Chain A
Amino acid sequence: MTKSLVFFLVAVLYWSMGQKTPQDPIRYFRKQTINRPIAGVKARTVSLEEEMPNDSLFQHLSADGVPVYYTREVKTAVCFDNKCRQLVITLFWNPTGRYLGFELPENEFLSKKDHDPFTDKEYQRLNELLADPDLPLGKITFNELVLTSTPLKGELDGVSGATSENLLQYVIEGAAYTTYKLYTILYGPTQQLVRDWTMQCWGKEFMLEVIRSNNLYDVFWGLENVKGKLKEYPRLQEQVLDMIRSENYSLSEKAIHALEPKDLENITVQLKLLESLNGLDFGRKKRILELFGETSQLFPETVEQFNSRISDMEIPLKVLILEIFKEHEVVDGTTLHTVNGLAHSGNPYISRKAKEYLAWSGNKKE
């Protein structure tokens, strides 16, 4: 065997290890929230980008009509030093708007400057980059991307110049325009369309699945979108109330914010919330107590609990409970007795606040 033949075989072997074979459609995917077989597809025409007029957004539905994912087939030009090539790729969105993945048509591959195909590593990196909703790529315009700057570091696709150095870490080297283009489509107006379309198919089972998802992005989206509807859906409400006790600070905080005062028009909810106060920090406790102030009624059991727990509360929360009493015109004997105790507090601020309540309650009775 000649040296050059050996070299050729090694090169072929190396190449085939690093690349997908042309026959395999290239597909990178993240975890879906809804895992059900697709039973139907609906399409809507979208004209969001100048270069892709009258394009379609597809909603892929399960047999029970739940959106499983959304797709768009992107066909756009990517230019290298004035030579252009079609970028053909299918992008996937989760029903919550989150990036889900991409797929290339059979025999298609992504390429960089000089038409070098992406390696597996680069596909994986692209998949990672596209999954990050906070990349600066979402905040820059195309002319900023291609702006020549010092120090020049590597060339970009799309232009002969280079991008600012700090943007290079957010793109696949040699394929900055491709990365940018995909990112801006994924996080551009299509994302909102996806979310809006999902909201049009709102169903409690679907929302329950979303807020039970392992993906925090989905859960937070779900919590935002169940707000105002919990009273009608007790199972969702129960799930949200359970989340308040989560170890995860943001999860607990967002669950509290999913509640509205009208959700507290129910004794079980009020008692459950009071129970959850135990493990919470000051800020979250305060928000929960504010809800008691804003809801339409306090149940006698709730007043009882406030009276028995007020002495252990932080000082601003004591004051808040006094305000809640006023808000709901609570003037029963036990409450007056409790507040009378506070009026004798060694802290003149607390005692002033308690006296204000007592004066108010006196006027109420007259």
Chain B
Amino acid sequence: MLTRIGVLSLGMAMPGLSQGEILKKPYKIRFRTMETDILVVGGGTAGAIAAIQAGRAGQKVTLLECQSQLGGTTTTAGVAFPGIFHAWGKQVISGIGWEIVQEAVALNGDTLPDFSMPHGRQHWRHQIRLNGQLYSMLLEQKCIDAGVEIRYYETPTQITFRNDHWLVETVGKGIHVQIRCRQIIDCSGNAIAASIAGFDLIREKETQPGTLMFTLEGYDMEKLDLNLIRSAYNDAVSRGELVRSEFRGDIVALLKTKGDNIQHIKGADSTTSESHTQANIMGRTSLYKHLKFLKKLPGCENIRIADMRTEVGVRETYRIDGLYRVTREDYVTGRVFKDAVSYSYYPIDLHTEHGVTPRHLAEGVVATVPLRSLIPKNSKNFIVAGRCLSSDRLANSALRVQASCMGMGQAAAAATILANQQNISPGEVDMDDLRKLLEQHGGIVPKS
């Protein structure tokens, strides 16, 4: 009896704890300070490569990634189809991106396409299907191997330049960090770090649509009455149940591709949590509505989602206003800049609500990326890589592809490494030194 009372009275003073349980006091956001050589913001297509490169050159590297894995659009958004590393029978982009793509292909038991046959109008013949999750895992392993400190779920809130160093405030789950670093590489895809640091950005009034990647199954294309499905679809669109532009007005294409890179979400923007939340909800709502619509049609009764990526892939948001803006003309004529740091090879590929009609490069043409297009005007110790480089819209539609982003990521990191070693800004590095460093790490640098 006494024991019982004792337990009871103790229980009134504090929550009843079973054996093995401990009491946790209310959480206080932890504050930490850190020091690093190079801070990479965004561990996506370009950023993960940049971080590995910097780590392999012996720099102390911190990588901020607001999601839970590396690879960005290539992995989290599920566009695991990098293009294009080869042009006109030669490899034009190599280095760390290629190393990991090659490893992912081999580990997955896949083979590389035949790059010796010209791709003609079907440039995707030279793109490489990856197991995105495997690729993401490899990126993580390579970062760890290179000594990169990965910080998932973290994002910068303040970036200021003081005494030749950047002070970056970040928040993450239950944590607030102040990072002091010498160089920043912004690989966020949206140039968010550049913007927070106070540099101007450029954006189109209307940007290209985003896409939620998913896979449908449970129907036999051979057995569907496509005319009937098409007419039911047009009726549903007329009734306002479905939005025509979400699948380019082509329900047959949705069924045929099974969801692979077919959806179009207008205005999708991943720059802030709010805009990205909205894009994700729009992407999923659109899929949900179309799925429910299709399920009522003959032959589609068992249609279901086999796979769906966790976020909408975003094609276009902000670009920096850089020291040089690459133009469409530069791209399609294959201009080799004196400060070219990497190649880029892809058709001009602007997606609109009507779809996309790629404009292919003339035979022998390979575009290049000048270092200046990665450096915001009036900046010091700051560089970007990936789709947010300084370029006009049409040039960007080709420059933004994954192999080009990987090449840029590696080159941007090389510039910051040299800048750190020589106490200068990335824009001031000597091109011969840059070439040497990149080649030592397996990269290909255009020869002017």
Interchain residue pairs with CB less than 8 A apart (13): A140-B256, A143-B222, A143-B224, A147-B227, A248-B116, A250-B116, A282-B99, A283-B99, A283-B102, A286-B99, A314-B439, A315-B440, A350-B58
A-side contacts of B230, CB under 8 Å: 147
Q: Complex formed: what's the CA distance from A257 to B109 in Å?
A: 11
B-side contacts of A283, CB under 8 Å: 91, 94, 98-99, 102, 442
The answer to whether A282 touches B89 (Cβ under 8 A) is: no
Q: A142-B222, A248-B116 are in contact. Are A349 and B57 (CB under 8 A)?
A: yes
Interface size of B as a range? 35 or more
Residues of A within 8 A of B (CB-CB), count: 34
Q: Does B180 touch A at the CB level, under 8 Å?
A: no
Chain A nearest CB, measured from B232 CB (Å): 14
Q: Does A51 touch B at the CB level, under 8 Å?
A: no
Q: Does A28 touch B at the CB level, under 8 Å?
A: no
Q: Complex formed: what's the CA distance from A314 to B94 in Å?
A: 12
Interface centre among A144, A148, A251, A257 (most CB of B within 10 A): A144
Q: 1/0 per position for A121-149, CB-CB distance to B under 8 A?
A: 00000000000001000001111100110
Q: Complex formed: what's the CA distance from A351 to B147 in Å?
A: 12
Q: Does B55 touch A at the CB level, under 8 Å?
A: yes
The answer to whether B115 touches A316 (Cβ under 8 A) is: no
Q: Complex formed: what's the CA distance from A246 to B111 in Å?
A: 19
Q: Does B164 touch A at the CB level, under 8 Å?
A: no
Q: Which of B68-124 contact A (CB under 8 A)?
A: 86, 89-91, 94-96, 98-99, 102, 106, 111-112, 114-117, 122
A interface residues, Cβ below 8 angstroms from B: 134, 140-144, 147-148, 216, 220, 224, 248-251, 253-254, 257, 281-283, 286-287, 314-317, 346-352
- Pick the residue among B56, B226, B252 that contacts A349 (CB under 8 A): B56
Q: Does B235 touch A at the CB level, under 8 Å?
A: no
Q: Complex formed: what's the CA distance from A14 to B390 in Å?
A: 60
The answer to whether A216 touches B116 (Cβ under 8 A) is: yes
B-side contacts of A315, CB under 8 Å: 56-57, 440-442
The answer to whether A281 touches B91 (Cβ under 8 A) is: yes
Q: Complex formed: what's the CA distance from A311 to B252 in Å?
A: 57
The answer to whether B99 touches A249 (Cβ under 8 A) is: no
The answer to whether A143 touches B226 (Cβ under 8 A) is: yes
Q: A134-B125, A315-B440 are in contact. Are A352 and B147 (CB under 8 A)?
A: yes
B interface residues, Cβ below 8 angstroms from A: 55-58, 86, 89-91, 94-96, 98-99, 102, 106, 111-112, 114-117, 122, 125, 146-147, 221-222, 224-227, 230, 252, 256, 439-444
Chain A nearest CB, measured from B56 CB (Å): 5
B-side contacts of A143, CB under 8 Å: 221-222, 224-226
Interface centre among A134, A316, A317, A350 (most CB of B within 10 A): A316
Chain A nearest CB, measured from B360 CB (Å): 15
Chain A nearest CB, measured from B338 CB (Å): 24
A-side contacts of B146, CB under 8 Å: 349
B-side contacts of A253, CB under 8 Å: 112, 115
A-side contacts of B122, CB under 8 Å: 134
The answer to whether A282 touches B114 (Cβ under 8 A) is: no
The answer to whether A148 touches B227 (Cβ under 8 A) is: yes
A-side contacts of B90, CB under 8 Å: 249
The 4 closest A-B pairs by CB, nearest first: A282-B442, A348-B58, A250-B116, A347-B58
Interface centre among B146, B227, B442 (most CB of A within 10 A): B442
Q: A143-B225, A352-B147 are in contact. Are A281 and B252 (CB under 8 A)?
A: no
B-side contacts of A287, CB under 8 Å: 102, 106
Chain A nearest CB, measured from B257 CB (Å): 10
Q: A147-B252, A281-B91, A314-B440 are in contact. Are A249 and B58 (CB under 8 A)?
A: no
The chain B residue sitting closest to A250, CB to CB, is B116
A-side contacts of B91, CB under 8 Å: 249, 281, 283
